[in-house]
Amino acid sequence: MTIRAIIFDCFGVLYANPVLVLASRCKTKDQSLEIQELGRALQSGLISLDAFIAKAARYTNSSDKDITELMQKSLVRYDEVFDYAWQLKERGYRLAVLSSIGSDSVSRLFTKMERTELFDAIVASGGTSASKPSPSAFEVTIDRLNVSPEESIMIDDWSVNIEAAKSVGLKGVEFISLTDCRRQVEELLNA
């Protein structure tokens, strides 16, 4: 079946993941892994930002204020990935963002043009039961794109989300670098 839609994760694909920046500053490997798990819980709305910051501060010997500032500074936009998304859009593909961000973050992370012209759907599932890796998150997104799972590719930096997307019938590309992502996406588009 022909691919008609590409779905992007936000943090780790379109933007740097601030949680990984914090995890790299932890005192031990176990604390680093726990920060990553807490980051997943934060992005899914299972813990508050304040609770996440407090744990991160303790694990990195930092103040809450320092953690907040570091998270803001590490929120780096991957312009090259956005450029590739625009190229895909110009080729006629339907595009979406599926992320565990809160709906209040959408206007801060995406320009009006991106929200209205680049992406056909932005599914901000933070705090809902339709958060990745739940199958319902992918189902909501493909429904909004008006495509079938087999016509869709999910790009995400977490393998658990890629496996979940595949279990629903989507193709999956684990984001490691733009070069690798582009190669894998183009192979799927040309298959």
73-131 per-position pLDDT tens digit: 888 999 999 999 999 999 999 999 999 877 778 888 999 999 999 999 999 876 556 78
| 178 and 129 fall within a common domain | yes
| 11 and 55 fall within a common domain | no
| 164 and 94 fall within a common domain | yes
Which own/partner contact pairs does 71-75 have at CB distance under 8 Å and 24+ positions apart? 71/18, 71/21, 71/22, 74/16, 74/18, 74/21, 74/22, 75/15, 75/16, 75/18
| 47 and 140 fall within a common domain | no
d(CA 127, CA 92): 32
Residue 95 — φ and ψ, nearest 5°? Answer: -125, 145
Q: What's the structural domain count of the chain? A: 2
The label of the residue with tokens 């997943």 reads 40
| 101 and 145 fall within a common domain | yes
33-81 per-position pLDDT tens digit: 999 889 878 876 678 888 999 989 988 889 999 999 998 888 899 999 9
| 130 and 98 fall within a common domain | yes
Domain that holds residue 59: 18-73
| 92 and 47 fall within a common domain | no
Highest-scoring range by mean pLDDT, 10-19, 117-126, 165-174: 165-174
Give the residue with greater pLDDT, 181 vs 104. 181
Mean pLDDT of 117-146: 88
